[in-house]
Amino acid sequence: MTFSLHALGLLLGTLLLLDPAARAQTPAAPGNPDQPVNVTGPTPLPVYGNPIIRDKYTADPAALVVGNTVYLYTGHDNPPPGKEWYFMKQWLCYSSTDMLHWTEHPSPLNVQAFSWAKADAWASQVIERGGKYYWYAAVEHGSIGGKAIGVAVADQPTGPFRDARGSALITNDMTKDTNISWDDIDPTVFIDDQGQAYLYWGNTVCYWARLKANMTELDGPIHAITTLPQFTEAPWLHYRKGWYYLSYATGFPEKIAYAMSRSLEGPWAYQGILNEVAGNSNTNHQSIIEFRGEWYFIYHNGAINTHGSSFHRSVCIDRLRYHKDGTLQRVQMTTEGLTAPAAKQH
């Protein structure tokens, strides 16, 4: 009796499948637990990928490009065991020249730097003006009930930062469009090409006001924007080719939506969803930058295995792309993240 090689293969395969020990050692084909596949060993984990920082829980990213370096400022989720809430006492700072390798710097700012604040190092953003770095940060006010926004200043992007005013720039009693105590959070700042600086912030209501050139005082009234459907929080401003973009967290769990305008004073035209709910996190909190000719969408999810969650968040980076008409393509959140160094400067 003769066997063809094919028949011999089938027989060996059948014997292998009947042997429980052999089955336990043979990886199954994806989607078919009974069909072995040929592999030479475990697939190596990528060196890079999302989340980009894995030894700490990082949230509320805010990136700043200074020359050939990206500075990434984040909150630090650090809840005591068993506690599920935003326990955050300090901000963290990282830098990179290629968006793949990140260097951690000593924490340049914490809640104690604001003597009038009592808790909560929530979302923040750093911006440069005239060689100084201004850090706008949401904290819990010590004597005026509710959240407040402070400003710290430094000569270097890595600090040391000190309170620039000795008092809050925004307090809960300055905004009356909602009676919640946490509507004065999530500051974002942008300076237009005329040199006018704007502060946007909010929860439930999106507020904005002009800033004086000293960056530490308001320059006019506080306005509320009414054209952003389901505004939750986390406004972020960026500019490209004649358009201002206002992205923000919408709904809860949060997606990121965005609007466009020709002016930082509006009117803002809603454009739709930019990013879907981020895995294992109720919040999403984006930062958008251009670096070396490419655009990046920086956000957080709850993906650190196995302890990630809405209160153990981690910063991720994926690419941001535009349609020809200037509208934004929906972000594709990935495990791989960025796989190549940021392109060289054009």
329 Cβ contact partners less than 8 Å away, ≥ 6 residues apart = 320, 321, 322, 323
Nearest Cα neighbor of 333 from 265, 247, 255 is 255
Cα 312 to Cα 130, 277, 282, 326, 336: the distances in Å are 36, 16, 11, 34, 20
Least separation in angstroms between residue 232's CB and ligand FUB is 8
Least separation in angstroms between residue 67's CB and ligand FUB is 28
Binding site for ligand FUB (CB under 6 A): 59-60, 75, 86, 122-123, 138, 185-186, 233-234, 283, 285
CA 129 to chain centre: 23
- Closer to ligand FUB by CB, 96 or 281: give it: 281
- Closer to ligand FUB by CB, 86 or 268: give it: 86
Residue 258: what residue type?
A: Y
- Closer to ligand FUB by CB, 57 or 291: give it: 57
Least separation in angstroms between residue 123's CB and ligand FUB is 4
- Closer to ligand FUB by CB, 78 or 158: give it: 78
CA 261 – CA 343 distance, rounded (Å): 29
Residue 119: what residue type?
A: A
Please give the helix or strand (H or E) that residue 11 lies within, else none: helix 5-18
Least separation in angstroms between residue 51's CB and ligand FUB is 15
Least separation in angstroms between residue 229's CB and ligand FUB is 18
- Closer to ligand FUB by CB, 3 or 252: give it: 252
CA 148 – CA 141 distance, rounded (Å): 6
Contact between residue 124 and residue 151 where contact means Cβ atoms under 8 Å apart: no
Least separation in angstroms between residue 285's CB and ligand FUB is 4
Least separation in angstroms between residue 163's CB and ligand FUB is 19
Beta partners for residue 132, in sequence order = 129
What are 333's two structure tokens?
A: 């959140």
- Please classify residue 177 by burial: count the beta carbons closer than 10 Å to its beta carbon, then call 0-12 exposed, 13-18 middle and 19+ buried: middle
CA 256 – CA 215 distance, rounded (Å): 27
- Closer to ligand FUB by CB, 13 or 229: give it: 229
Residue 236: what residue type?
A: W
- Closer to ligand FUB by CB, 188 or 216: give it: 188
What are 345's two structure tokens?
A: 């400067």
Least separation in angstroms between residue 254's CB and ligand FUB is 8
Least separation in angstroms between residue 122's CB and ligand FUB is 4
- Closer to ligand FUB by CB, 107 or 214: give it: 107
Please provide the size of the chain in residues. Answer: 346
- Closer to ligand FUB by CB, 97 or 107: give it: 107
**Strand ranges, E, within 241-345:** 243-250, 255-261, 269-275, 287-291, 294-301, 314-319
CA 215 to chain centre: 24
